[in-house]
Amino acid sequence: MAVLSAALAPNAAADDVRSQQWYLTAMKADEMWKVSTGKGVKVAVVDSGVNAGTSSLKGQVLVDEVPKAVSYHVTQDFVGHGTTMAELIAGTGAGGGLKGLAPGAKIVPYRIALDGLKDPVEKRNTPSTAKVIRAAADTDAKIISMSFGTPYFDPDVEAAIKYARSKGKLMFASVGNEAEKKNSIGYPAAYPFVVGVAAADKTGKVGKFSEHGNYVDLAAPGLGVATWCDATFKSYCPGEGTSMATAITSASAALVWSAHPEWTANQVLGSLIDTAGRDWPKNNPSNYLGYGLIRPRKVLENTGIDPGPAKTDPLSYENETGVTDASPSATASTASHPPKTNTGNRTSAAGSSAESSGGDTLWVVLAGVAAVLVIAGGAFAVLRSRRRA
């Protein structure tokens, strides 16, 4: 059973949750919402479940669209993690709750057996990760968001991922939060056709905890972001993690897909990669931030943007050659995967030289103290050296 590494933060109430959504200002969400709110796009959140009754999620969660054969009666969140991810994607902000980056999108909730699910009956009734991904693939949800991870390769999950890919789904997963401990490869982020997401701060610098390696594809805000403290859903705590970065990346894709409903998953992803903020060559992605920081506004503001061919995978090289760990601590379960020759090691999209230092795990850590966040827009809104393939 996986262990969730977390420490509750004091003095973090719902009243000041807005101060912890610095990325909405940095990403210029108000400008993006004039073009797209994610309306018409459904995001499958595969996580600890989703509490559809929070003020921010009322009317946003499509519980009845979860296939009954899979988990019709087991979408309740006993941890709080999945509910946070759903709010970061599509929360309305009502009642002092989190405002999602794509408030017009809808959430289809799926629960898998993750950290914090203690009740044996609930565990027994919760479907496997592979079964859930296949179920989500058979729905009309366009995006599958997975803010969890494990160091162990599972052929059943890999097969489910490939099945979802064949159904045209766009999948995002967090790369993990243990860079300062062991930095082993994290799945499902490392499976072919899953976009691995790292966490960055408001300056565009990778979080020290954010795992690195050549399976990191994109980066998004993941530090100083509010998260539900626990499953009582009474207050928010400041947190950090690649979980939040994954949810925000999924929301970014929803914004783009809503504005361009005729695009394929390849084109949505390709546009996010092409417009990502970076100051290194696109053909040499970073092991820390991948192709750079997501900037969906750069896609939405360009009415004539070329998303590339509908059937061309923008991560074809990575998906065809596989991945290998960037550290010597790769587990035996990952050693059989062929290497990918990505050698980028940039830790900041703003050009900083600062260094980054057995089971499904929720990739989120609650910060030790409540921080006052200064909004310093720029890193996620405008960055130099933008390139296209």
Q: With residue 317 as reference, give the H or E element that holds it.
A: helix 316-321
**What count of residues does the chain have?**
389
**Phi and psi at residue 369, to the nearest 5°:** -135, 160
Q: How far apart are CA 253 and CA 271, in angstroms?
A: 9
- Rounded CA-CA distance 306/304 in Å is 6
* Catalytic pick among 48, 77, 81, 348: 81
Rg of the chain in Å (alpha carbons): 18
Q: Tell me how far apart the terminal alpha carbons of the chain are, to the nearest angstrom.
A: 43
* CB distance 349 to 219 below 8 Å: yes
Active site residue 260: no
**Which residue is it, tokens 């990575």?**
318
Distance (Å) of CA 187 to CA 2, 47, 71, 161, 363: 13, 14, 22, 11, 12
Task: Say whether 351 sits in a helix, a strand or coil.
Answer: coil
Please tell me the distance from the alpha carbon of residue 123 to that of residue 277, in angstroms, as a whole number.
Answer: 41
Q: Do 44 and 50 meet the contact criterion of CB atoms below 8 Å apart?
A: no
Please report which helix (H) or strand (E) contains residue 316, including its range.
helix 316-321
Catalytic hit among 56, 243, 286, 356: 243
Nearest CA-CA partner of 324 in 310, 309, 301, 341:
341
Q: One of 36, 47, 48, 154 is an active-site residue; which one?
A: 47
3-state secondary structure of 66: coil
Element (H, E) at 120: helix 120-125
Alpha-carbon distance of 41 to 100, in angstroms, equals 14
Contact 29, 131 (CB under 8 A): no
- 88: closest CA among 190, 236, 231? 236
- As a whole number of angstroms, the distance between CA 34 and CA 238 comes to 29
**Active-site residue set:** 47, 81, 243
